Amino acid sequence: MSDIRFEKIALIGIGLIGSSLARVIRERRIAGNIAVASRSSETLERAHDLNLGDSYTTSATEAVRDADLVIVCVPVGASAKVARDISDTLKPGAIVTDVGSTKQSVIEQMMPVLPETVHFIPGHPIAGTEQSGPDAGFAELFDGRWCILTPIAGTDETAIDRLTGFWHACGSMVDRMDPEHHDMVLAIVSHLPHIIAYNIVGTANDFETVSKSEVIKYSASGFRDFTRLAASDPTMWRDVCLHNKDAILEMLARFSEDLSSLQRAIRWGDGDKLFDLFNRTRHIRKSIIDAGQDVDVPDFGRHVAQTEGHGEDTL
């Protein structure tokens, strides 16, 4: 049994992240009661079939009533609406957090609406897969993965410690970061790779001299891995692009400059420059494995629990 315990945890959104949280909370007995909210009655019914909670409702307002911890697991563009819906019902002293991969936008949307009687601590578990929905979750999703908290200045340290303990109980390592810095870091390590993946797969789909059947039939591992990223939830990634626009545009500009440099090296047959780039990037891969953020097995670890992706769930 975990020594980090909440009487009631409300999960607003029960897609991949929300359902994984529900499973780990129940399995490790982190809460006495799990309230599940989804605006989709069909999703809610499936969550009930999977026994993910103790109560189920299409009303976020009802779900958060008397909850000690509220975790908002929705696409970042829906954060303001959720905050408005729950603000009048939140229990004084409750901790309110989220799982979105853009933090400045979430803070701007939620903080002005939430009452001063609660502890609002934005968060981002860096865990996920390309799958979505309540069936996609699993209790081990957060094991050995980072969760970044971006508390606002003046936030109660006891509440931060309690939320940190919650994520530790879920299996995560926890770090703190300034929201602006978080958004820039995630723009390069996550948002940009997904955008590139969507673009490459789209290019292949539009390339008229190569048929779609040939793209599928002869896909090498590189393209195949891009299609996995490009299969991620479109609502979530639309919102990420719109709500981390400045950081993403900055990283796209840098990427475009580096791509032009690579293009020149290929055009002019600059083998030394190509080798130097490929050698440096190979060491990055080794560093990621050494840090325990992936495993060095065939198929890029595809046959173990996937951990690339983001926090937001769909409602």
Residue 305: CB atoms within 10 A of its CB come to 14
pTM: 0.82
* Burial status of residue 288 (CB atoms within 10 A of its CB: 0-12, 13-18, 19 or more): middle
Specify whether 46 is located in the same domain as 161: yes
Q: pLDDT higher for 299 or 76? A: 76
Indicate the average pLDDT of the chain: 87
Tokens for 6, please give them: 């909440």
Structural domain ending residue among the three candidates 124, 143, 178: 178
Which H/E stretch holds residue 82?
helix 79-86
Estimate to the nearest angstrom the gap between the alpha carbon of 196 and the chain centroid.
17
Specify whether 172 is located in the same domain as 37: yes
pLDDT bin (cut points 50, 70, 90) of residue 300 is very low
Domains in the chain: how many in total?
2
Specify whether 158 is located in the same domain as 207: no
Tokens for 92, please give them: 């004084």
Specify whether 67 is located in the same domain as 112: yes
Whether 167 is covered by a domain: the verdict is yes
> Which residue carries 């001063």 as its tokens?
116
Whether 262 is covered by a domain: the verdict is yes
Specify whether 222 is located in the same domain as 136: no
Q: Are 76 and 100 in contact (CB under 8 A)?
A: yes
pLDDT at residue 128, rounded to an integer: 73
Specify whether 153 is located in the same domain as 128: yes
pLDDT at residue 295, rounded to an integer: 66
Q: Are 57 and 43 in contact (CB under 8 A)?
A: no
Specify whether 136 is located in the same domain as 62: yes
Whether 217 is covered by a domain: the verdict is yes
Q: Say yes or no to pLDDT of 313 above 60.
A: no
Give the residue-averaged pLDDT of 48-65: 96
pLDDT tens digits, 247-289 = 899 999 999 999 999 999 999 999 999 999 888 888 887 777 7
User: What is the domain extent for residue 281?
Assistant: 181-301
Specify whether 169 is located in the same domain as 187: no
pLDDT at residue 237, rounded to an integer: 85
Residue 235 sits in a domain whose CATH number is 1.10.3660.10
Whether 230 is covered by a domain: the verdict is yes
Whether 310 is covered by a domain: the verdict is no
Specify whether 133 is located in the same domain as 265: no
Determine the straight-line distance between the first and last CA of the chain, rounded to whole angstroms.
Answer: 30
Specify whether 143 is located in the same domain as 188: no
Helices (H) and strands (E) in the chain, counts: 13, 9
Q: Are 16 and 128 in contact (CB under 8 A)?
A: yes
Structure-derived torsion over alpha carbons of residues 142, 145, 146, 147, reported in degrees to the nearest 10: 0
Residue 174 sits in a domain whose CATH number is 3.40.50.720
Structural domain ending residue among the three candidates 132, 161, 178: 178
Distance CA 91, CA 290 (A): 43
Whether 315 is covered by a domain: the verdict is no
Residue 140: CB atoms within 10 A of its CB come to 16
Structural domain ending residue among the three candidates 136, 155, 178: 178
* Burial status of residue 262 (CB atoms within 10 A of its CB: 0-12, 13-18, 19 or more): middle
* Burial status of residue 6 (CB atoms within 10 A of its CB: 0-12, 13-18, 19 or more): buried
β-partners of residue 124 are: 148
Give the residue-averaged pLDDT of 197-222: 75
Distance CA 158, CA 177 (A): 17
pLDDT bin (cut points 50, 70, 90) of residue 299 is low
CA distances to 61, 98, 110, 118, 232 from 121, in Å: 19, 8, 11, 10, 26
Q: Are 241 and 248 in contact (CB under 8 A)?
A: yes
Give the residue-averaged pLDDT of 216-222: 72
Specify whether 138 is located in the same domain as 228: no
